């Protein structure tokens, strides 16, 4: 026994991390110790070749191996983007904050050795596929690492750099497709995880993909993509999925449509061929995008990453069959953003409905009543939120429950983050905006202190519970665990249970199913 014990000690000693050095498939990286004991962070690890020059608008290519030790102490630069969202804070390298050379990822690991085989959560940021970065403080993975899982956050190309289609790009691709380079970057990040995460103490067979907003939309797309769906075993989505926005039920754009848009963009910048288009400076391309506001660069049905619309793939049961945890925030959108500059009233809200929905307005008013001004304001927020993101996320849960052959867990985030009295967002108090879009992120990651809000004990309790549920799910495909209120699986029926996160954390029957079923019928009749 003594000899066997000595052998085991020798084997594990050889597998422990040495001076925070880890050998990846491309070379050795050196991380740094995080503030929490036992947690190490590796920032700015390249997972694909810089997509510059001839590699602009191509699938991500392998990293060129390096010699020596790569110091992974700083985040890589964020991908090229316009300043779209005021709530985004970046921690990118000060000498190179933004660049086309942006395909870097970060790893937070609590593993003591490469033998630990911990569960892994791979995070994709939000930002409408136009902005965002894995360096944002609210996405810091240290708290999750303290709960025993590894976090990997991945940069991916955005806007015109990530989603431009063009007939010549399609021709040169070798797969008769173009666009969706941002999604390909995410897939390349997952490929890197499969090849390398064991060296950080992770288990390549226990990978959960997760994201918020555009990141959540990405999760739904990766579940549907034949190029990605074998790369993970669990999925988490916060606010959003590619299931068509009501009332038109519009599908994702097709390759033909995006090629036309790309050709129009090339013409607008005076580029007669790909060489000329690739020769234009990155900042000049961003300026051109800002001028051509009618053109949207966004994921599409390209025939390669996505052979069909995401919703169609799910309907056919050809998506990844795996457990899904997904939900939304109580006030995803504001009446001030969607409807008018003045608060809706019992008089104006029905008028707005008639102007927008014509003969269906009376039916919609029954679902979103306005018997008085307060109710009109509440209904306008509910309607704006449903049309923006709630319905599509609900449809994702429903379809995965029907065709995904695995448990589904649903949530609603109800907590309005506390704010200082004089705080304003676009002239409106965040308190008035309620549990607005993206405000749950800091709770999930346990990064409340990255924001200067006057947090209360209830906020830290909610945050700890959400992080624990998410970590439990990543470990076992079930969010439940000791000390947490029971979270029942979602069955899609009239009394389907949904977990609510507020001062009181509890599971209750799903509310407003009649609204979501109405939009489901409206979308079906439009297609």
**Model confidence at 424, in pLDDT bands (50, 70, 90)?**
low
Work out the average pLDDT over 339-368.
Answer: 90
Question: What is the CA 411 to chain-centroid distance, rounded?
Answer: 16
Is the per-residue pLDDT at 426 higher than 60?
Answer: no
Alpha carbon 252 to chain centroid distance? Answer: 17
Which of 26, 218, 437, 520 is flagged as catalytic?
437
What average pLDDT does the chain have? 92
CATH number of the domain located at residue range(s) 338-527 in this protein? 3.40.50.1820
At 93 the pLDDT is 76
pLDDT band at 249 (very low <50, low <70, confident <90, very high): low
In tens, the pLDDT along 32-67 reads 999 999 999 999 999 999 999 999 999 999 999 999
Q: Pairing between strand 104-109 and 69-71?
A: unpaired
What pLDDT does residue 339 have?
61
pLDDT tens-place string over residues 439-488: 999 999 999 999 999 999 999 999 999 999 999 999 999 999 999 999 99
The CATH architecture annotation of domain 18-322 reads 3-Layer(aba) Sandwich (3.40)
pLDDT at 1: 40
Phi, psi of 342 (to 5 degrees): -105, 150
- The answer, yes or no, to whether residue 89 has pLDDT greater than 70, is yes
**Is 437 an active-site residue?**
yes
Q: Answer yes or no: 520 catalytic.
A: no
CA distance 199 to 430: 43
Predicted confidence at residue 14, as pLDDT, reads 38
Yes or no: say if 121 and 210 are a contact pair by the CB < 8 Å rule.
yes
Note the pLDDT of residue 19: 65
Both tokens of residue 375?
């109710």
Tell me the three-class secondary structure of 96-147, residue by residue: CCECCCCCEEEEEECCCECCCCEEEEEEECCCCCCCCCCCCHHHCCHHHHHC
Q: Average pLDDT in the 397-415 region? A: 97
DSSP state of 92: B
Residue tagged active-site, from 332, 398, 440, 442: 332
Given the residues 213, 239, 334, 385, the one annotated as active site: 213
**CA distance from start to end of the chain:** 70
**Cβ atoms within 10 Å of 143's Cβ, excluding its own:** 20
pLDDT of residue 338: 54
- Spatial separation of the C-alpha atoms in residues 278 and 325, rounded to whole Å: 40
Q: What is the mean pLDDT of residues 497-521?
A: 96
The residue ranking higher by pLDDT, 314 or 339, is 314
Distance CA 155, CA 46 (A): 10
Distance, in Å, from the CA atom of 72 to the CA atom of 413, rounded to the nearest integer, reads: 35
What is the domain partition of the chain in residue ranges?
A: 18-322, 338-527
Tokens for 426?
A: 């676009």
Reported as a single tens digit per residue, the pLDDT across 186-232 is 999 999 999 999 999 999 999 999 999 999 999 999 999 999 989 99
CA angle 238, 210, 147 (to 5 degrees): 105
Looking at residue 3, its pLDDT comes to: 41
- Is residue 427 within 8 A of residue 400, CB to CB? The reply is no
Per-residue pLDDT reduced to its tens digit, 483-500: 999 999 999 988 899 999
How many CA atoms lie within 13 Å of 219's alpha carbon, on the beta-carbon side? 36
Q: Which residue would you say has higher pLDDT here, 337 or 383? A: 383
92 or 517, which is more confident: 517
Tell me the C-alpha distance between 240 and 217, whole Å.
5
Measure the CA–CA gap between 523 and 359, rounded to whole angstroms: 16
Tell me whether residue 512 is one of the annotated catalytic residues.
Answer: no
Distance (Å, rounded) from C-alpha 159 to C-alpha 267?
Answer: 18
Give the pLDDT of residue 221.
98
Q: Is the pLDDT of residue 2 over 50?
A: no
* SS3 state at 152: strand
The answer to whether the beta carbons of residues 24 and 196 sit under 8 Å apart is yes
- What single string gives the DSSP state of each residue in 360-414? GHHHHHHHS--SSHHHHHHHHHHHHHIIIIIHHHHHHHHHHHHHS-S-EEEEEE-
Tokens 């793939």 label which residue? 313
| 110-131 pLDDT per residue, tens | 999 989 999 999 999 999 999 9
Instruction: Check: CB of residue 438 under 8 Å from CB of residue 331.
Output: no
Model confidence pLDDT, tens digit, residues 4-15: 333 333 333 334
Do 338-527 and 18-322 have the same topology in CATH? Answer: yes
Per-residue pLDDT at 527? 58
For every residue of 20-80, DSSP letters joined together read TEEE-SS-EEE-EE-SSTT-EEEEEEE-S----GGGTTS---PPPP-SSEEE--SBPPBPS
pLDDT, one tens digit per residue, over 274-292 is: 999 999 999 999 999 999 8
Predicted pLDDT at 112: 92
């Amino acid at each position: 026994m003594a000899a066997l014990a000595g052998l085991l000690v020798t084997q594990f000693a050889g597998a422990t991390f040495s001076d925070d050095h880890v050998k990846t498939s491309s070379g050795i990286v050196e991380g740094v110790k995080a503030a929490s004991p036992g947690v190490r962070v590796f920032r700015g690890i390249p997972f694909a070749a810089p997509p510059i020059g001839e590699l602009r608008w191509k699938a991500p290519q392998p990293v060129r191996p390096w010699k020596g030790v790569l110091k992974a102490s700083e985040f890589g630069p964020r991908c090229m983007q316009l300043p779209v969202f005021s709530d985004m804070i970046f921690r990118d390298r000060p000498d190179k904050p933004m660049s086309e050379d942006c395909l870097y990822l970060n790893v937070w690991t609590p593993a003591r050795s490469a033998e630990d085989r911990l569960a892994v959560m791979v995070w994709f940021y939000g930002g409408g596929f136009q902005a965002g970065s894995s360096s944002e403080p609210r996405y810091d993975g240290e708290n999750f690492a303290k709960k025993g899982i590894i976090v990997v956050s991945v940069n991916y190309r955005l806007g015109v750099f990530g989603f431009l289609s063009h007939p010549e790009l399609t021709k040169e691709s070798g797969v008769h497709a173009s666009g969706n380079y941002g999604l390909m970057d995410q897939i390349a990040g997952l490929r890197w995880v499969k090849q390398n995460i064991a060296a950080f103490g992770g288990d390549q067979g226990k990978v959960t993909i997760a994201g918020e907003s555009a990141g959540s939309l990405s999760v739904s797309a990766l579940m549907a993509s034949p190029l990605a769906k074998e790369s993970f075993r669990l999925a988490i989505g916060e606010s959003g999925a590619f299931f068509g926005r009501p009332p038109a039920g519009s599908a994702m754009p097709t390759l033909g449509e995006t090629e036309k848009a790309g050709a129009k963009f090339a013409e607008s910048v005076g580029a007669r061929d790909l060489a000329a288009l690739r020769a234009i400076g990155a900042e000049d391309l961003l300026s051109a995008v800002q001028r051509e506001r009618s053109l949207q660069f966004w994921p599409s049905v390209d025939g390669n990453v996505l052979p069909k619309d995401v919703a169609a793939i799910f309907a056919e049961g050809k998506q990844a069959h795996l457990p899904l945890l997904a939900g939304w925030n109580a006030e995803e959108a504001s009446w001030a953003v969607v409807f008018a500059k003045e608060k809706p009233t019992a008089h104006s809200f029905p008028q707005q409905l008639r102007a927008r929905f014509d003969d269906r307005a009376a039916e919609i008013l029954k679902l979103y009543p306005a018997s008085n001004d307060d109710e009109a304001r509440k209904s306008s927020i509910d309607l704006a939120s449903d049309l923006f993101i709630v319905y599509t996320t609900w449809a994702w849960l429903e379809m995965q429950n029907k065709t995904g052959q695995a448990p589904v867990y649903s949530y609603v985030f109800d907590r309005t983050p506390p704010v200082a009295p004089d705080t304003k967002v676009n002239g409106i108090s965040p308190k008035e905006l309620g549990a607005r879009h993206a405000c749950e992120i800091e709770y999930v990651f346990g990064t409340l202190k990255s924001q200067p809000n006057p947090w209360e004990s209830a906020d830290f309790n909610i945050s700890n519970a959400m992080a624990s549920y998410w970590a439990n799910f990543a470990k076992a495909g079930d969010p439940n665990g000791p000390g947490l209120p029971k979270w029942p699986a979602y069955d899609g029926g009239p009394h389907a249970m949904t977990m609510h996160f507020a001062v009181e954390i509890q599971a209750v029957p799903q509310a407003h199913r009649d609204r979501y079923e109405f939009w489901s019928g409206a979308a079906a009749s439009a297609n």
